[in-house]
Amino acid sequence: MSNLVDFHCHLDLYPDFERAVERCERAGVFTLTVTTTPKAWRRNAEVTGATKYVRAGLGLHPQLVGERAAEIGLWEKFLPDTRYVGEVGLDAGPRYYSSFDVQKKVFAHVLEACAEAGNKILSVHSVRSTKIVLDMVEAHMPPDRGKVVLHWFTGSATEARRAADLGCYFSINEQMLAKEGKTAFLRSLPRERLLTETDGPFIKVGDRAAEPTDAGRTLVPLAALLGLDETETKALIYANLRKLLF
């Protein structure tokens, strides 16, 4: 077992989904493979159903809500089948802002349904919308009803403190640590709430898509940021995962 953690990856977007899952299993990388639409859920549940290390999240990606908002009913139908939800959230970037009001309605529905069900873990997208995401988490997701992991968090240090106060976790990828000017802010995140992610296949390692085994690449710069060695950082991330899950 590697004790590596990739808490946000899109394995069903790789050329061979089943082999990508098998590679995670062989390497012993705990992987949350998120989906972008509820229609993708059945296949994800089938491929990951008997795995030891891979879990599938039931998603409705905010960038697709403009054309797929009607799938929220299908999303709700599948919710009892999984503890993991993602990718969900909000995106106020220029390409997706026209659907922002609909995104908010869908995300509120997701949060309310998860809170009602209880014990769900959500991987949440918050591009240019951190304050509104946190407002909605505070309004609809009490910490004792579920857990929110903020994927690729880009908010301010003040917003990070607020997110931590709301019980949120943060999944950190190699690209976030490579950005000049961001590392000091990342140091302010509570280390007991940090997880690693790859966001593969959207992040690249050289000329190939990052895979869950590449989550280890994040440990070296993260260790330097935290003032720990790589072994200590790996143990910290795994302990954080266990706390989140159990």
Q: Is 211 annotated as a binding residue?
A: no
Contacts of 239 (CB under 8 A, 6+ apart): none
Q: Is 140 annotated as a binding residue?
A: no
Q: Is 87 annotated as a binding residue?
A: yes
Q: Is 109 annotated as a binding residue?
A: no
Could you give the C-alpha distances from 149 to 197, 204, 218, in angstroms and in order? 11, 22, 17
Structure tokens at 88: 């969900």
CB atoms within 10 A of CB 206: 6
Q: Is 61 annotated as a binding residue?
A: no
Q: What CA dihedral angle connects 136, 137, 139 and 144, to 10 degrees?
A: 170
Strand-pairing partners, residue 121, are 84, 147
Binding residues: 8, 10, 87, 125, 151, 199
Q: Which residues are annotated as a binding site for a divalent metal cation?
A: 8, 10, 87, 125, 151, 199
